[in-house]
Amino acid sequence: MRRAARVRPVATPSAGSILVVLDLVGIAVFAISGALVAVRKELDLFGVLVLAGATGLGGGFLRDVLIGATPPAALDDWRYLLVPTAAGLVTFVYHPTLGRMERLVTFFDAAGLALFCVAGALKALDYGLSPLPAALMGMTTGIGGGILRDVLAGRVPVVFRGELYATPALAGAGVAVVAHELGVTALVGTVGGAAVCLVWRLLAVRRGWQAPMPSGPASV
Amino acid sequence: MRRAARVRPVATPSAGSILVVLDLVGIAVFAISGALVAVRKELDLFGVLVLAGATGLGGGFLRDVLIGATPPAALDDWRYLLVPTAAGLVTFVYHPTLGRMERLVTFFDAAGLALFCVAGALKALDYGLSPLPAALMGMTTGIGGGILRDVLAGRVPVVFRGELYATPALAGAGVAVVAHELGVTALVGTVGGAAVCLVWRLLAVRRGWQAPMPSGPASV
Amino acid sequence: MRRAARVRPVATPSAGSILVVLDLVGIAVFAISGALVAVRKELDLFGVLVLAGATGLGGGFLRDVLIGATPPAALDDWRYLLVPTAAGLVTFVYHPTLGRMERLVTFFDAAGLALFCVAGALKALDYGLSPLPAALMGMTTGIGGGILRDVLAGRVPVVFRGELYATPALAGAGVAVVAHELGVTALVGTVGGAAVCLVWRLLAVRRGWQAPMPSGPASV
């Protein structure tokens, strides 16, 4: 339990500025998805910005609160506050255009999911969690923002229905955790885990893979 | 504020393996109730598992985050992750059967509530809270999972309507806190508090006791 | 990161008992707003009390969990638990009367918002956050209770629609943070920030100021 040595998002120190950029891209794309939901729900500018921030940062906040890494790293770094705000403002103005770039948004969303699940899992390991909970925290980091977005927007989280979303995140986090436990360097584990998540997620979108549904009618 | 000495769920060290089993039974039954809600909402396998986990573990997570006991104990113990997952899978497959065993589910749910409210209150005392907040944290532990389940499933928490549910939990937690303050051994306080909650809750179900409703029409 | 020196709500030590009273008034009015929503949703007594507590204390709890100030100060001070409970009970009984005193409730609600945003920002600074995140935490303290109230009551948070609410809170928190950074005494920053928020909010209500809405139809 290292509380004193507050760590920045895992990507930052271990793999340099490329990963920081990817992290911020992930936050931006998640923020755009939140802002688009807000526009569809006819929320005002403030609602758009809050849903953008909650979706972009919510998964990381949830992870940080659960593993005791408070205050969340994003509150220490102005870039992590600027990016979702800017993404929300851009979406507020250009939402018709962004709403039409569905394939691009889906791709970046998958990329954000891939990076978040790996970064989240590695940070949880860094705070002393065992492998299985760390992988679950990785998945939580990836899907938490979208769940928060949907709860705030008054709808059942889409991650609970439809296309495979959480499973690729759990798989990517699992690969990163296993690589870490085997002593593989962080870069390899990060790239490997993120690739598994990204490819799986994109295949799920393209081929319409879905999670199994309960069979038979629900009683009562 | 003892942070270093991370404690396992209160039941574990103080009262031996019987209470661990009861704790896991409580998690399992809460998880089943969450999975049944997910099936009724036509969520997919992943939604069923997440609602199972959120319902089984959510109350304890909420308590641990509020009292600063992070990461939550359940993230340190694989049994606390395995049980709700298994309960979710079983419900996913056998939901028609489980949905029909309503009386049994209600009984175990009351047992889970009874144990959670007591264990939650004792853990809060252990983290330095005063008696009144500790009793409220006990109630929160008991009802938090169900509230989280309903918020995620997009419905107003059932604990806010209908049969008495939270009051027995607060009473059971209160008994355990008072016993603790009077220096009674943990086992007696645990059994006494749990018994008060269990009996009250089962009587409420059987006799249809309800919490009072506001009188008169709400203005606007 | 000062964890050991648990601080009471910022107002308490620095500006004496007048601010404590204002703090409790803010909690009471927020609690009444939560209880009125519960009555309109036809929740039972327990639902009324929980929504009262969640609305009155939720913003502060959210801030405390995020900045690592756990357990939240309100759990250490019985007055902070008594006030929302009493406000919930009074609303349960007298809701037709309170529902009609709309102007008074709106005024006190603005006063609560004004005090919460300032106190929240100063507490976040006290826990080591930088100015921008501290101002955001101040806003979160002010609006968090209402958001929690609406999520629990199953509706989209009203702060996301309609009259300006969050912007005055952010402005008030910003004034308090700037004053703090400039070395102005806490009392001046508190009064100045609260006044900015209060006047802005009341003007917004009176003149019907609204946050901008997205233009054009949402795609899809």
What range does the domain containing B56 cover? 11-207
In a domain, C118, yes or no: yes
CB contact, 8 Å: A169 with chain B?
A: no
In a domain, C220, yes or no: no
Lowest mean pLDDT among A165-179, A184-198, B109-123, C13-27: C13-27
pLDDT, average across residues C36-65: 91
C60-84 confidence digits (pLDDT tens): 999 999 998 888 888 888 889 999 9
In a 10 Å sphere around its CB, with 0-12 CB exposed, 13-18 middle and 19+ buried, how is residue B127 labelled?
buried
In a domain, A117, yes or no: yes
On chain B, the residues whose CB falls within 8 A of the CB of A66 are 61, 65, 70-72, 75
A130-162 confidence digits (pLDDT tens): 999 999 999 999 999 999 999 999 888 888 876
pLDDT, average across residues C2-26: 57
In a domain, A154, yes or no: yes
In a domain, B214, yes or no: no
Q: Which two tokens stand for residue A127?
A: 């705070």
SS (H, E, C) C53-75: HHHHHHHHHHHHHHHCCCCCHHH
User: Based on the structure, what is the number of domains in chain A?
Assistant: 1
Share of chain C above pLDDT 70, in %: 89
Element containing residue C6 per DSSP (H, E):
none
In a domain, C214, yes or no: no
Is 70 exceeded by the pLDDT of residue B3? no
Q: How far is C56 from chain B (nearest CA, A)?
A: 15
Is 90 exceeded by the pLDDT of residue B209? no
Q: Which of B41, B66, B75, B77 to mutate to test the interface with A (most CBs of A within 10 A)?
A: B75
- Out of A65, A151, A165, the one facing B152 most closely (by C-beta) is A151
C116-157 confidence digits (pLDDT tens): 999 999 999 999 999 999 999 999 999 999 999 999 998 889
The set of chains that have 3 or more CB pairs under 8 A with B is: A, C
Is 90 exceeded by the pLDDT of residue A7? no
- Out of A76, A92, A154, the one facing C214 most closely (by C-beta) is A92
DSSP code at position B157: -
A218 pLDDT band (50/70/90 cuts)? low
ipTM for the complex?
A: 0.82
Is 90 exceeded by the pLDDT of residue C179? yes
Cβ within 8 Å of residue A17, ≥6 positions away: none
Considering chain A, what is the average pLDDT of its residues?
85
On chain A, the residues whose CB falls within 8 A of the CB of B94 are none
Q: Which residue has the tokens 């606390």?
A: B80
Angle between helices A11-40 and A186-207 (to 10 degrees): 20
A27-37 confidence digits (pLDDT tens): 998 999 999 99
In a domain, B156, yes or no: yes
Q: Is A168 helix (H, G, I), strand (E, B) or coil?
A: helix
- Out of B147, B166, B216, the one facing C96 most closely (by C-beta) is B216
In a domain, A214, yes or no: no
A87-98 confidence digits (pLDDT tens): 999 999 999 888
Answer for the pair B46, A159: CB distance below 8 angstroms, yes or no. yes
In angstroms and rounded to an integer, the radius of gyration of the C-alpha atoms of chain A is 17
User: How many angstroms separate the CA atoms of C75 and B65, rounded?
Assistant: 13
Q: Which two tokens stand for residue A39?
A: 């526009």
Q: What is the pTM of this model?
A: 0.86
Considering chain C, what is the average pLDDT of its residues?
86
